[in-house]
Amino acid sequence: MIRLEKRAEPSRAWQVAAPVVAVGLTMLAGAAMFAALGKDPAAAIRTIFWDPLFSPQFAAYSRPQLLVKAAPLILIAIGLSFGFRAGIWNIGAEGQYLMGALAGGAVGLAFYPAGGAHIFPLMVLAGALGGWLWAMIPAVLKVRFATSEILVSLLLVYVAQQIVAAAAVGWLRNPEGGGFPGSRNLARYPAASNPELLPGTGVHWGVVAAALAVPLAWVLLLRHVAGFRVRLTGAAPRAARFAGVRPGAMTFACLSVSGALAGLAGLFELAGPAGQISIDFGSGYGFTAIIVAFLGRLHPFGILLAGLLMALTYIGGELAQFMLGIPKAAIQAFQGMLLFFLLGVDVLTNWRVRLRRRREAR
């Protein structure tokens, strides 16, 4: 009979190995899924994980895309990791991403067509502020009324989607757009655009922000007393209160970090790769970032790797869609599977598996 025995300490080896094993298992299960769809599984896996980086035909286009797609995922996931470690579940990052983009975009469009070096920094500020404000709704309701932040933050995603849609067809619509929904294209408004900084690399300001966020979060979360308090709150809320951590302040802090970073990610995406506020501006980064945060073990450097890997599945998925006719939805299911396998394999991190014969009760 198989039994689980609690480990005194989480196994460090399995902490590192679990995501790797989970990725391997997901590839196997994914290959089975592609085979069930009537596609060559080996070709599908190679197209998703190898070709975007190393194929001479596609790498030139795909490699820069890797950073473009990974940056928002990493930024959002870094923010989420604080709350998740403290047991504060902000699962509405998609909404904060949308509101950040909307606030930042609105500031940029308000200046149109003026020039000036102050416009883009102001937009960045507005983006962070927009995401932060949207995250403050569940924070205030949680602290003041003890309302579940899980449900409120998630429900606010649907509200944010409607607000963005209203903006795209209403007050932010491009007056020269011939009546079509969607705002002016910020990517074509130099003072407000977030361009590729180094040609051919995909590096834009969002990538820079993500690259800064990773080491900063590492210091804050793992080398600073603030991070210790976050982790303490998650591991032992009662002990944390005795140590002087105020739960309300912790809720505000964690939702502030995740809201502001998600808002930033939204703004950088809007002013760069996306260009304009459209009805369907939201692309699900806020939800995929949840997978990234867990796959990265809620550790900043882990999230960096997980974000790059997840970005690879996006790009490889597009390539597989184009080359092999694998539906986009298959990639979505593939990403969902990854989290399943990770959570499953993770049992080995905290528990020891013991094989033992069943004994009679005495």
Cβ-contact 263, 131 below 8 angstroms: yes
- Residue (of 331, 313, 293, 329) closest to 65 by Cα position: 313
Q: Is the dihedral of CA 143, 145, 146, 149 positive or negative?
A: negative
Task: For residue 355, state whether it binds other proteins (rule: CB under 8 A).
Answer: no
- Residue (of 167, 186, 183, 187) closest to 175 by Cα position: 183
Which parts of the chain fold into alpha helices (H)?
12-36, 41-49, 51-54, 59-86, 93-111, 119-145, 149-169, 205-222, 225-235, 237-242, 247-269, 285-295, 300-324, 328-345, 347-350
Task: For residue 89, state whether it binds other proteins (rule: CB under 8 A).
Answer: yes
Task: For residue 339, state whether it binds other proteins (rule: CB under 8 A).
Answer: yes
Cβ contacts of 84 within 8 Å, gap of 6 or more = 234, 293, 294, 298
Angle, vertex CA 216, rays to CA 212 and CA 217, nearest 5 = 115
Task: For residue 57, state whether it binds other proteins (rule: CB under 8 A).
Answer: no
Which residue, 194 or 288, is less far from other proteins as judged by CB?
A: 288
Residue 266: CB minimum distance to other proteins, A: 18
For residue 61 the two structure tokens come to 């286009």
Which residue, 109 or 291, is less far from other proteins as judged by CB?
A: 291
Task: For residue 15, state whether it binds other proteins (rule: CB under 8 A).
Answer: no
Cβ-contact 120, 126 below 8 angstroms: no
Which residue, 158 or 322, is less far from other proteins as judged by CB?
A: 158
Of 14-22, 60-68, 304-312, 338-346, the window that binds other proteins (rule: CB under 8 A) is 338-346
Residue 341: CB minimum distance to other proteins, A: 9
Task: For residue 242, state whether it binds other proteins (rule: CB under 8 A).
Answer: no
Cβ contacts of 344 within 8 Å, gap of 6 or more = 22
Residue 142: CB minimum distance to other proteins, A: 9
Task: For residue 285, state whether it binds other proteins (rule: CB under 8 A).
Answer: no
Which residue, 266 or 286, is less far from other proteins as judged by CB?
A: 286
Task: For residue 112, state whether it binds other proteins (rule: CB under 8 A).
Answer: no
Task: For residue 334, state whether it binds other proteins (rule: CB under 8 A).
Answer: yes
Residue 173: CB minimum distance to other proteins, A: 13
Residue 158: CB minimum distance to other proteins, A: 5
Residue of 254, 309, 315, 331 that binds other proteins (CB under 8 A): 331
Query: Chain centroid to CA 133: how far?
Result: 18
B/e letters for 321-336, b = 16+ CB within 10 Å, e = fewer, are bebeebeeebbeebbe
Question: Pattern 141-170, binding to other proteins, x per CB under 8 A?
Answer: x--xxxxx-xxx-xxxxxx--xx-xx---x
Task: For residue 333, state whether it binds other proteins (rule: CB under 8 A).
Answer: yes
Task: For residue 230, state whether it binds other proteins (rule: CB under 8 A).
Answer: no
Task: For residue 81, state whether it binds other proteins (rule: CB under 8 A).
Answer: no
Which residue, 118 or 280, is less far from other proteins as judged by CB?
A: 280
- DSSP assignment letter at 299: -
**Total residues in contact with other proteins, by rule CB under 8 A:** 49
Which residue, 276 or 313, is less far from other proteins as judged by CB?
A: 313
Rounded to the nearest 5°, which phi and psi values hold at 236?
-150, 85
Which residue, 15 or 201, is less far from other proteins as judged by CB?
A: 15
CA dist 305 and 209 (Å) reads 16
- Chain residues that interact with other proteins, rule: CB under 8 A: 4, 6, 37, 89, 91, 141, 144-148, 150-152, 154-159, 162-163, 165-166, 170, 287-288, 290-291, 294, 327-337, 339-340, 343-344, 346-347, 350-351
